[in-house]
Copies of this chain bind each other. A is one copy, B any other.
Amino acid sequence: MRLSELSEHSGVSTATIKYYLREQLLSQGRRITATRSEYDASHLRRLRLIRALIQVGKVPVATVREVLAAVDDESLGRTTRLGAALWALPRAEEADPQAPATREAQALVEDLLTELGWDFARANGALSPAYRSLVTPLTRLLELGHPVTVTELTPYARQMASVAGHDFDVLETLPDDAERAETAVAAAILREPVLLALRRVAQEEESARRYGP
């Protein structure tokens, strides 16, 4: 497959593909001659993943590069590799760690994790991007004057634990590590909007039930 064919099959313009090649999101094709390169199905798959990350996940190009690097890093074991890919993901802007709302949010998260018995998450604590991406929006909620309590968060957390368990069940049905890492990324990113959309559909349904159409 030549670059132009890759473009046709993916629906992505050649200019954009070249841009992705330059930005190292996509690996070079196999050079045939000085002016021809051969691309294969893996390039097509990767290209679609990139588009999904960027367009659906709104992941910045620089972050996509890091995520894909982790996906491709064969020196990592299966868990690490998968974790590394997810680890590179979200990048919520950090809240000011000095602000009282931030401290309150952190305390809240600590209490929540204790309540849930999520000891590993608590031990890893502030190092994990997931942990920090939890503190930030909680801080915002508190700043806005919307009180958030452990009692209120716990059911949400339990629902999401159930979701996460399901995520892994699906993942374990896959054989290959590379495919698994790619799937994990696709699932993490692409299922986020699915979950949020499901929540909103559920909200509309609930609203109709409570107050009528």
Residues on A facing B (Cβ under 8 Å): 45, 48-49, 52, 55-56, 58, 78-79, 82-83, 86, 89-90, 92-93, 113, 118, 120-121, 124, 128-131, 133-134, 136-138, 140-141, 143-146, 152-153, 155-157, 159-168, 170, 183, 186-188, 190-213
Is the beta-carbon distance between A207 and B161 smaller than 8 angstroms? no
Is the beta-carbon distance between B197 and A133 smaller than 8 angstroms? yes
Interface of A is mostly: helix
Is the beta-carbon distance between B165 and A206 smaller than 8 angstroms? yes
**Residue in B closest to A51 when the chains form the complex, CB atoms:** B140
Check A137/B204 contact, CB under 8 A, given A155-B162, A159-B163, A186-B146. Answer: no
**Residue in B closest to A58 when the chains form the complex, CB atoms:** B58
Is the beta-carbon distance between A198 and B58 smaller than 8 angstroms? no
**Residue in B closest to A99 when the chains form the complex, CB atoms:** B11
Between A and B, 7 residue pairs with Cβ closer than 8 Å are A56-B140, A79-B211, A82-B207, A130-B204, A133-B193, A133-B200, A156-B195
Scoring A83, A113, A130, A165 by chain B CB atoms within 10 A of each residue's CB, the highest score goes to A130
Lowest 7 A-B CB distances belong to which pairs? A164-B202, A130-B200, A134-B197, A120-B208, A137-B193, A160-B198, A161-B202
A14 to chain B, nearest CB (A): 20
Is the beta-carbon distance between B86 and A206 smaller than 8 angstroms? no
Check A204/B168 contact, CB under 8 A, given A133-B193, A137-B197. Answer: no
| Contact with A201, one of B128, B170, B198 (Cβ below 8 angstroms) | B128
A108 to chain B, nearest CB (A): 11
Is the beta-carbon distance between A52 and B144 smaller than 8 angstroms? yes
CA of A2 to CA of B116, assembled, Å: 46
CA of A167 to CA of B210, assembled, Å: 13
CA of A211 to CA of B153, assembled, Å: 27
CA of A152 to CA of B191, assembled, Å: 12
Is the beta-carbon distance between B168 and A210 smaller than 8 angstroms? yes
Scoring A146, A152, A192, A199 by chain B CB atoms within 10 A of each residue's CB, the highest score goes to A199
Is the beta-carbon distance between B118 and A160 smaller than 8 angstroms? no
